[in-house]
Amino acid sequence: MGTRVEGRRDVVVVGGGPAGMAAAARAAELGLDVLMVDEGERLGGILPQCIHPGFGVHYLREELTGPEFAQRLASRVEDAGVDVLLEAHVPEVRWISHAEKGVRVLSPGFSGEVRAGAVIYAAGARERHRFEIGILGDRVAGVYTAGEAQTMMDVYGILPGRRVLVVGSGDVGMIVARRFALEGAEVVGVVEIMPYPGGLTRNVVQCLEDFDIPLLLSHRVVSVRGRGRVEKAVLMRVDEGLRDIPGTETEVECDTVVVSAGLVPRVEVLRELGALIDPATGGPVVNDRLETTVPGVFAAGNALVINDLVDHAAEQGEQAAEGAAEFLRRGGIPATDWVRLRPGEGVKLTVPQLLSGERDVWIYLRVNRPVRNARLSLRGAGREVRLPVVRPAEMVRVKLMAGEVRRAKVGGREVVAEVYRG
Amino acid sequence: MTGRGKVRRLTCIVCPLGCEIEVRLDRGPGGDVRVLEVRGATCPRGREWAAQEVTDPRRVVITVVPVRGGDPPTVSVKTDRPIPKSRIPEFMRALAGLEVEAPVRVGQVLAKDVLDLANVVATRESRSMGRSFGERP
């Protein structure tokens, strides 16, 4: 419609969720010519369906619901003069040269290639489905991912079922369980394979305990049964090694099974482009400008690493925009002798994976088990941080000083993040 | 925590940090709950919340309201202030019949003083579709 698509852009941002909107707004505020493309009919990514409060406490210093947070960023995108193309899919990003990439765009109004000096990839994540977590049995109606259930209920106003079993106790699973309970459905339980809840404690309190929803730890759903529609789910207990304990099958009557089993970064386009993917995060390997291993292509938000706070996704968008601006200004991010940041004892993943030592850097890491009175050691950088508690559900974010990174350059050229008790 | 009174342990829900808070309280002459001390909160909002939680727990309620002729066909809403936790089911029943006309803008009050507890405010916009639902453009 009004949006100019053709021609060369300084920056093309792929994805109009929180990371993409923050990236596009920041890049335009830095004086760059920016096109942002998104698959949806409206901006916001998954925010419009996340109607609960708790967004923006850090990034906007105000507690908002998801739709309100999206609205704030969308206004900023508009004020900054970003061109936005909606209902547009990006199947490919093509390498033309160090200084130029081709972004293939398919949309009702425009199909073709847009040339860009830099690309910020913020296409988010997809939800894991029932078969990825081993829920076998009948292929019946009534099995939804958490995002599908949220969209039905909170965008289209349709209650997906009346007797609901939620699989997975991450924040999204617990929040969806509360929404079902509030709307008058019976939530027969939230099933969690681990021996502890997957999400934040505040959500155990205000989503499950407030509504007397049972949490079944160390259990998993092995199958779904029914004719045409879900009639029951079969549960089993698991041992410490997450193996099924024979003879512990129980059947739970329900008409709906909601799978909230985590997210997987959408990186197919980046992989095709030749970007190195980190098996620990599922996202691309990036340096401290959030540039992937393909020069001029940056990543942010859930396409980079699965975030639990929208604030972090938006912050990464801004960092990627600043990286893209530097890339355009200097004709590339100068390849220095990078220091590798990697996970060690007790740590599942770390981002960014490559540190320059030229600048202070926010590092994000996730632990692989809960620890009270934790000591986080960034070995090689000579840095220790004490934390009252760390949990797999809560990303740890620490600022590492340039000087600390440079210390590792004389040693093993790496910083290893380790978490210990006490 | 030492001293007189009873201690209640809470997990703060004000922000994602989830501080473990201890509240020491006793009963006044009229049986009312009195807060003597709050410990473990790392911000003033957490201290206020903990004192409120043991005396009169409240929650902001979130739901969606159908919008006639709207795209999307609902708006998300929240109460403009927290309401007593015990009255949430009654509040939800009072909202069950509510339906509004498109367009709706963010911040618009869709129902005033529901059960004399709170206003219901839109948190998402819904535009007029300009044609009936299901009709092809």
List pLDDT tens digits, range A36-77: 999 999 999 999 999 998 888 888 888 899 999 999 999 999
Considering just the CA atoms, what is the radius of gyration of chain A in Å? 22
Averaged pLDDT score across all residues of chain A: 94
Whether residue A290 has pLDDT greater than 90? yes
Mean pLDDT over residues A216-233, rounded?
Answer: 98
Q: What is the pLDDT of residue B2?
A: 53
- Cβ–Cβ gap A51/B124 under 8 Å: yes
Q: Which of residues 51-110 of B touch A (CB under 8 A)?
A: 59-64, 66, 72-74, 76, 78, 85, 88, 92, 106
Mean pLDDT over residues A287-312, rounded?
Answer: 96
- Per DSSP, the three-state class of B16 is coil
Which residues does chain B have with pLDDT short of 70? 1-3, 16, 130-137
Q: What is the pLDDT of residue B134?
A: 47
- Flag the least confident range among A42-56, A133-147, A224-238: A42-56
- Cβ–Cβ gap B125/A71 under 8 Å: yes
- Cβ–Cβ gap A155/B59 under 8 Å: no
Q: What is the pLDDT of residue A361?
A: 96
Task: Tell me which chain B residue has its CA closest to the CA of residue A390.
Answer: B17
Mean pLDDT over residues A249-264, rounded?
Answer: 97
- Flag the least confident range among A113-117, A385-389, A400-404: A385-389
Q: What is the pLDDT of residue A2?
A: 54
Please tell me which residue, A390 or A29, carries the higher pLDDT value: A29
- Per DSSP, the three-state class of A183 is coil
Whether residue A405 has pLDDT greater than 70? yes
- Cβ–Cβ gap B62/A308 under 8 Å: no
pLDDT of A300-359, one tens digit each?
Answer: 999 999 998 999 999 999 999 999 999 999 999 987 789 999 999 999 999 999 999 999
Mutate to test the interface with A, among B81, B124, B129 (most CBs of A within 10 A): B124
With contacts defined as CB-CB under 8 Å, which chain B residues touch A51?
A: 62-64, 76, 78, 123-124
Whether residue A6 has pLDDT greater than 90? no
Q: What is the pLDDT of residue A218?
A: 98
In A45-88 the beta strands, taken as DSSP E runs, fall at 53-55, 64-65, 83-85
For residue B74, the distance in angstroms to the closest alpha carbon of chain A comes to 6
pLDDT-derived band at A1 (thresholds 50, 70, 90) equals: very low
Residues 6+ apart with CB under 8 A from B61: A182, B78, B79, B83, B88, B91, B92, B118
Q: How many CB atoms lie within 10 A of CB A233?
A: 26
Q: How far apart are CA A245 and CA A238, in angstroms?
A: 5
Q: How far apart are CA A135 and CA A346, in angstroms?
A: 29
Q: How far apart are CA A181 and CA A162, in angstroms?
A: 9
Percent of chain A with pLDDT over 70: 99
> Looking at chain A, how many residues does it have?
422
- Cβ–Cβ gap A51/B88 under 8 Å: no
Strand partners, B58: B84
- Cβ–Cβ gap B60/A53 under 8 Å: yes
Mean pLDDT over residues A19-46, rounded?
Answer: 97
pLDDT of A182-224, one tens digit each?
Answer: 999 999 999 999 998 988 888 898 899 999 999 999 999 999 9
Mean pLDDT over residues A389-400, rounded?
Answer: 90
Please tell me which residue, B41 or A35, carries the higher pLDDT value: A35
Mean pLDDT over residues A14-31, rounded?
Answer: 98
- Per DSSP, the three-state class of A179 is helix
